[in-house]
Chains A and B, each alone.
Chain A
Amino acid sequence: MSNTNTKKIKPLVPPVAAAVLSAIIPGLGQLLSFRIRRGLLLFFSLVSIMGLFIWRLAVIAHREIGIADRLAKSFSREPFFIIFICLAIFALWLWIIYDAFKTAGGSADKSLGIFVLILVMFFSLGWQISEINVGKMIREFPEAWPPLSRILWPWEAAVTRDTSSVTAEAAILVDDTKNPPPIPEYIEGEPYIKSTPTYGKMSTLDADNNMILGDTIHLEGSGFEPDTETFIYWEDSVGNEFRPRQNGKYVTLTTDASGGFSFDLVIPYRLTPPSAVGQQIHHVQARQISEVGPVKASEPLRLTIVLMLETIFMGMMATFFGIIFAIPLSFLAARNLMSGSWITVTIYYIIRTIFNITRSIEPMIWALIAVVWVGLGPFAGIIALTIHTIAALGKLYSESIESIDPGPIEAIQATGANRLQTIMFAVVPQMIPPFVSFTIYRWDINVRMSTVIGMVGGGGIGFLLVQYIRLLDYKSAGIAVWFIAITVAILDYVSSKIRERFV
């Protein structure tokens, strides 16, 4: 803020009047002393701080009506914020009056202290507006840690093995003793389970929902995998299966060295469905599940890899289409080539303007538009990225055309070369390095962008990531996050290496 020329002009009002005027309309005194910028800046700072403050009061105390009630309510909720802003507004107002007095007296205060205060006020308003809550972040960490830890280290979910299960079952007649079912037929080499007796009373609940234990049956099994965890399942008369509990725990046991077991089970509680009529035959099952075959990639890992490839190629295709359109357009947007006539200058300005507008709209927003246009999927993502790429590369290309050194062109022309030779020998060698460098850089950006563009339906891995997070499947989400991070890191390295070579 240099005031070398305004200093000589005499203030329109005396200091006291300037102070009074600034007290009524902040900044007016400064304005009348021809410190226009200072006056306007102070006026708009104070007005916008007060405006924002009133708005925050309305948000914090949204049930109250009337400024006094709101102030009181807000004060009870956020005392420090309210006190600080009120005091600061008052201090600012006093300072503006004092400054008007000094300015009109000709001894303008050059210090910037008050602008620091203004900045601090905006900062604390910003803190409040953006609902920053560090306490919450710390309090909720323990709860957030389990899903976070799964995202950070998701690799158990990356592999799986095929499973096979071995089951044997025996029929039990419940709540009756007539015609109990026979014990199952024993077949050599097959898993086998038998119950003695093959009938008994089920556990029930009394009026207070306390469990009344039913009869105990003795189970004996053989022919299973030795020393292996075995799960007991119960199947009711209509075929519904569940895992019975005993002493609050699911019933599991471990087979002995010869693949057999023997234990007592209280017949569990089961509400018999009304559709079940007649003799109630239930089944008890012993089941072993074992992982067989080699370790293989899990479904989330496979999907992640497939979609990561899709993502990389989306970025590549968008870059490719971007180049095709950007190159010809960049010539039309190069000032040095287009300064010939008013027509070419007009074209130059039109294309530059389109580039600037298009570039200022983020690819995510283009993706939302493209999804409306061609539907969900990678094609929408490619369209969005291509549009943004054309504008971004077009601008970079045309700037490198503008910065071309005319010296070599002159020198090659002087040898008697024709136009084509001049372009190939003097123009192209100067253009290739920036073109390659900008293009690789853009490819890098496009792959990065296509990792998130799926979040709005543009295809690629972002789509998968959002799905997993919505399903609370944090391990699978973690796999996607890891792949994104690794791919971007590799790309970053490769692209910087390639660009280094061309600079």
Chain B
Amino acid sequence: MLEIRNLTKIYDDGTEALKNVSFKVEDGEFLVIIGLSGSGKSTLLRCINRLIEPTDGEILWNGKDVAKADGRDLREIRRQIGMIFQHFNLVKRSSVLTNVLSGRLGYVSPWSSILHHFPSEDRKRAYEALEMVGITDQAEKRADELSGGQQQRVGIARALMQEPSMILADEPVASLDPVLAHSILGYLEDINKQRNITIMCSLHYLDLVQQYSSRVIGLRGGNLVYEGSNADIRKMTDNQFKEIYGEEAVRVNAGSISGGADE
């Protein structure tokens, strides 16, 4: 279980990206974070595994405060939390298999891993992960030879290698077309339902939010401005909507609900 208490992030340049944000994530949830571009979604997700140092507040992961963890403790927490990214963040010139295997780095011995030596059960596990996302035949290819949708599946396989209890996904489908978006979110849904892995995911498209989320939180200017169940978001009023997205927001069923994609 993840509990965020009074989380605040102020960047070096003075930008207040998160202001006193508190919420809870129960195990097995599919929590979607919505909010305009610049509202702090990426900052929030990256604070949870400390890719960004929070300025203040607590991040309680199964009772341990991630914000205070250090060195080995932090790495141990990180390996329990997988992460996938909008731009996939694969090592482009390495093979798909190497990219997937790198999900094991938190487990294996550092010295043999830097020589790219992984235990044989990890290789087996890597092929299983690739099979789960349906790209076993691409294992030997260089990551940048794959299409966008395939690269995101490699990203999912890499996260699965961590045998995580939770996966953070920062706009995982923002660089993909709608068909691929559904296929990627379908994998996340399977992972969520079948393996009972908690998913915390920021999304742009209203129909996707309505279809996949079990619960939704909304950020606006670094403040938590909305919390609701899947049923709530399905019957959300335009006024509530504007509360989160600002005046310019429009409700488009198959379109963007945040006034344009990031970047």
On whether the beta carbons of A421 and B85 are closer than 8 Å, the reply is no
Contact (A413, B158) CB under 8 Å given A421-B110, A429-B91: no
On whether the beta carbons of A416 and B102 are closer than 8 Å, the reply is no
Contact (A414, B75) CB under 8 Å given A407-B85, A408-B91, A429-B91: no
Q: How far is the CA of A421 from the CA of B114 in the complex (A)?
A: 6
On whether the beta carbons of B105 and A430 are closer than 8 Å, the reply is no
Q: How far is the CA of A143 from the CA of B161 in the complex (A)?
A: 78
Binary contact readout B96-109 vs A (1 if CB under 8 angstroms, 0 otherwise): 00100011111100
Q: Closest B residue to A412 by CB, please name it.
A: B102
Q: Is A418 an interface residue (CB 8 A)?
A: yes
Q: How far is the CB of B165 from chain A (nearest CB, A)?
A: 13
The interface residues of chain B lying within 8 Å CB-to-CB of A65 are none
On whether the beta carbons of A426 and B91 are closer than 8 Å, the reply is yes
On whether the beta carbons of A411 and B79 are closer than 8 Å, the reply is no
Q: Is B78 an interface residue (CB 8 A)?
A: yes
On whether the beta carbons of A420 and B78 are closer than 8 Å, the reply is no
On whether the beta carbons of A416 and B78 are closer than 8 Å, the reply is yes
The interface residues of chain A lying within 8 Å CB-to-CB of B211 are none
The interface residues of chain B lying within 8 Å CB-to-CB of A426 are 91
Q: How far is the CA of A433 from the CA of B51 in the complex (A)?
A: 27
On whether the beta carbons of B114 and A420 are closer than 8 Å, the reply is yes
Q: How far is the CB of B74 from chain A (nearest CB, A)?
A: 8
Q: How far is the CB of B110 from chain A (nearest CB, A)?
A: 6
Q: Is B24 an interface residue (CB 8 A)?
A: no
Q: Is A410 an interface residue (CB 8 A)?
A: yes
Q: Is B140 an interface residue (CB 8 A)?
A: no
Binary contact readout A428-464 vs B (1 if CB under 8 angstroms, 0 otherwise): 0110110000000000000000000000000000000
The interface residues of chain A lying within 8 Å CB-to-CB of B104 are 415
Q: Is B62 an interface residue (CB 8 A)?
A: no
Q: How far is the CA of A413 from the CA of B71 in the complex (A)?
A: 12
A-B contact pairs, 26 of them (CB 8 A): A405-B92, A407-B89, A408-B89, A408-B91, A408-B92, A410-B89, A412-B91, A412-B105, A413-B51, A414-B51, A414-B82, A415-B103, A415-B105, A415-B158, A415-B161, A416-B77, A417-B106, A418-B75, A418-B105, A420-B110, A420-B114, A421-B105, A425-B94, A425-B98, A426-B91, A432-B93
**Leading 5 A-B pairs by shortest Cβ distance:** A416-B106, A416-B79, A407-B89, A417-B105, A411-B89
Chain B residues packing against A (C-beta within 8 Å): 46, 49, 51, 75-79, 81-83, 85, 87-94, 98, 102-107, 110, 113-114, 155, 158, 161-162, 168
Known: A407-B89, A410-B89, A415-B162. 11 other contacts (CB 8 A): A405-B92, A412-B102, A413-B78, A414-B81, A415-B79, A415-B161, A417-B102, A421-B113, A424-B113, A426-B91, A430-B92
Chain A residues packing against B (C-beta within 8 Å): 405, 407-408, 410-418, 420-421, 424-426, 429-430, 432-433
